Structure 1
Amino acid sequence: MREVPRRVLLAAPLLMATEASAQPVQSAFDFTMESLEGGPLKLADFRGRAMLVVNTASFCGFTPQYTGLQRLHDRYEARGFLVLGVPSNDFNQESRDAARIKEFCETTYGITFPMATLTSVRGPAAHPLFAWLSSRAGGPPRWNFHKYLVGRDGRSVRAFPTSTEPDSPVLTRAVEAALEGRPLV
């Protein structure tokens, strides 16, 4: 029998401990937010769907994008897609009252897609989901209505800037790719 060098024997427990303690690859579906209505908004409930996560604001020049986001949600929902709205006051253009945000979204834009409560999306106070999305797709939102498309696997992420309209060909092509399980690039 061949003798194993002493340095290999000493390193083996360290290698096994490192492998055993390695965290599984995280996905967007591992996060929970607070819903706009109150209570947990478990992204695990959306496992297997493609999601467009958008930081929103009620008093922004881009607020009319809600119309396009709702149309996008309606167009692809039956195929396993959803828009997730995340109101944020990081850019000082959102109410601090969840009930007012909910009423505004429902009465002004007829929003039916899931909405989180007022959430920080950038900086040290950013919700862990946004920190994770930012690390995977080019950084934090630079303004309201920044969009992160998450693939059905929950790991593939592509960012779209505020200026990308919800009905733009580049975004709809990416949504279709996500729904078909193709790369989001």
Structure 2
Amino acid sequence: MKILCIKIALAFFVVKSSICCAKDVLRANEILQNDAFIISPNGIYFLAMQSDGSLVMYRNDGSIRYSMAKHGTVAIMQGDGNFVEYAGTTPLWNSNTANCCPYPAYLQIYDNGDLAINWSNSTGSFSGSVWGIGPDPAPSGTGPSGVDSLVLAGTPPSSVPNPYLPNSYAN
């Protein structure tokens, strides 16, 4: 029984640490493309730029939390604070947050299902948020999805993909 408890505790630690270490932030000039994603610290929500061009936020049960409902090739958290989905060099969707942050902006996914553009000074003593979708109104995966368009997203991944960590990310 003691060995079984140790194995269960070790398995929980390995799973929990892999979730905790996954990236929940997209910083200035970082991109999502080709099935890259960011994931909430609790592992329940992830925003993925799918290979079919759909930029979709999923719950871990596979239901859609939010979709930009466009079909681009890349999503960029631009240095000016605007989060933009592009098809090549053509912008398809944007957060309309360019130049509205006094400090560098970043896109963050939260445990409550919120996806927000925030800004902060280097010490974190001065910060704010300029855009967000709000907490998930249906965290169990039932009810309204918060999708901003009737255009359906592409096929969801069969499981949560491996974390995408850009070269600029060092933790």
Same fold (TM over 0.5): no
TM-score when scaled to structure 1? 0.25
Higher relative contact order (CA 8 A, sep 6+): 1
Larger Rg belongs to: 1
Structure with greater proportional helix content: 1
